[in-house]
Structure formats: C-alpha cells, structure tokens
Amino acid sequence: MASTERPMANADVAVEKLGELTPDALAMLGELVVHSGWNQTAQDWGVFFSCGTIYVVRDEHGRIAASGAVLPMGESRPGALASLTGRGVAWISMILVRPDRRGRGLARRVFEQCIRDIHDHGRIAMLDATPQGENLYLQFGFEPLWRLTRWRREARPATGPDLPLGRPDLDTLAELDQEALGFARKRLLAELLARPDSRYVRHALGFAIVRAGRVAHQIGPLLATDEPTAVAVMREAAAALSGPVLIDVPDDRPLLRQALADAGFAPQRGFARMALATAEQRIPQGQTHFIHAVAGPEFA
C-alpha cells in the first residue's frame, strides 16, 4: 500500500537541537537504533545528551526521523600537542535515519549541523565511519587515519568466572586511555564504568571495560601496552560472557585477530577512523598501538 504521508523535501528539512530527553524522545531515538541494527541503549543516549548534543530532524507529525550526536572530548595532552589541537576534539556519531525517510538528504543535513557545531567550538571533528558513510565524510574533507573491524561472537555458555563490578583505579585507566588516544575522556570512562551492568578486566599492563548493549555485550575500550596482554584481557572478558559479544578491533592486530577467531568470533563489518582539522590544527597523535579495541564507533 502506498504511503499517504507527504514526503519531506530537502528544502523542508530543519535540524534542531534536542532540548529535553523526554521518554517519548528516548523511545523515538531507540527506534532509530533498532531500525539500523545498532547496539546502543537508552543509557548511551543519556550520555550523548548530558555530555554532548543530540541533533534531530522531525517529520510533519513531530516524530524524530533522523539523528546525530556530538560528544566533546577533553583537552588534548599537555604540552605542544595541546596548543596545536586547540580545544580538543569532538566525536560525531549516531547519524541515523528512519527507513521510510532515507534517501532524502536527512543524514547529510544532520551531519552538516554536527560539523558546524564542532567548528563553532574550535574543536577537531573525529568519527568512526561505516563503508557507506565514509564516502560522504570524504566529501567534507575527512582524512582516514586507520581501519578497524567489528567482530561478533554468538551466544554460548560462559567458561570463566564473573568479572568484577565497581570502579577500578579510574585515574590510572584514564591516564593510559589519554596516552593511547592523544586526548582525554575521563568523564566518558566514568560514565561507562558507573553503569550497574558494566564490568572490567584489569591486568598490570592493560584493561578493558565490558558493558551491556541492546543486542550484545561490548568489549571496549581494550587498552594494553602490548598485544599478548591484549589477547589475555580479551580472553578473560569473553570467557565470562554467555550472550552475544561485540568487539571493534584495529585491523593491524594479527595476534588478537587470530585469538578472536579461535574464540569463536567472526568479522562483521569494517570501519574507518577519520578526522577533520583546519590548517591551524593538528590531529591528535596518541600511542595508537595501545588501542586493541575501541569503546565503540559511537564513543571513540
């Protein structure tokens, strides 16, 4: 049956900043996640709202038809790098469009607003792009930095002990995280660890956060000073989980990729980490060899 709704012409599109995360708005944003097959939860939308900005496009009935989120990260590492990266970075994510409104330029319009927000605040725009999104972001001048792959393991019985609750030494974890990324995101780590369903793995030279998602647990960030430690952390985390598990791993991790395959994981989709900086800015350069799994494409 043909739809009787009036199509939204591109000229009609108005992007608005979400002023209140009401239960109705949260439900509509959750529908976008479900339709896109992503893993984000209401708690994730809460982080975008409390720590950043959510932009939306509404249809003629006032329902959210498209979304985008900007999540500012902390200042860059002290010293010369901080002066070159200015006010730090901002992460773009959750560029989602309702299926019945796709193909009408809504994603581009929301994305343009996200870029405008970041430029107005003097930050560097960064994101993890799907293959479909990468072509759009290249048109805006984004530069691919490195590539990663999402691995998934289907549900199976847990074979290891439960992981600890509570909050580990946040300062130590945040310091290693900042060294790896080149910019700080201590508040985000605190938000993830404070969730009642979050767990963590802590080794002398590495750590990982494990949190519950909409359809699967997510392992990440997973940071370690060497790849064998990262493999040990991943194995401990995965063994404690019985449901489906996701982990987003840089492609240049041969030991970890083999360990994932041995543990029953299979590659699902690729991403490209990308950044956009002005001529006066320098893209943060952390110790990326410490990054063995990202927090998720929505969180860096």
Long-range contact set of residues 161-170: C-beta below 8 Å, sequence gap at least 24: 161/240, 162/199, 162/240, 163/199, 163/200, 163/201, 163/210, 163/236, 163/237, 163/240, 164/199, 164/200, 164/202, 165/196, 165/198, 165/199, 167/193, 167/194, 168/193, 168/200, 168/202, 168/207
pLDDT tens digits for 85-132? 446 899 999 999 999 999 999 999 999 999 999 999 999 999 999 998
Backbone angles phi, psi at 4, to 5 degrees: -95, 0
How far apart CA 86 and CA 89 sit, in angstroms, is: 9
Q: pLDDT tens for residues 278-296?
A: 888 889 989 999 999 999 9
Residues of the chain with CATH 3.40.630.30: 10-147
Fold exhibited by the domain 10-147: Aminopeptidase (3.40.630)
Q: Parallel, antiparallel, or unpaired for β 206-212 and 124-129?
A: unpaired
pLDDT digits (tens, 9 = 90+) for 215-238: 999 999 999 999 999 999 999 999
pTM: 0.91
What percent of the chain is predicted at pLDDT more than 90? 81
Cα dihedral 121, 127, 129, 135 sign: positive
* Phi, psi at 120, each rounded to 5°: -60, -25
Q: Return mean pLDDT, the chain.
A: 90
- CATH code of the domain made up of 149-269+285-293: 3.40.630.90
The pLDDT value recorded for residue 103 is: 92
Q: Is 8 helix (H, G, I), strand (E, B) or coil?
A: coil
CATH 3.40.630.90 in the chain is located at 149-269+285-293
pLDDT in the model for residue 166: 60
- Span 150-173, mean pLDDT? 88
CA distance 300 to 293: 10
What's the rounded Cα separation, in Å, for the pair 154 and 290? 27
**Please, where are the H alpha helices in 37-88?**
42-51, 80-85
Cβ proximity of 226 and 252 under 8 Å: no
Is residue 76's pLDDT more than 80? Answer: no
Beta carbons within 10 angstroms of residue 44's beta carbon: 26
Angstrom distances, CA of residue 150 to CA of 38, 227, 243, 294 = 12, 18, 16, 10
Residue 13 pLDDT: 81
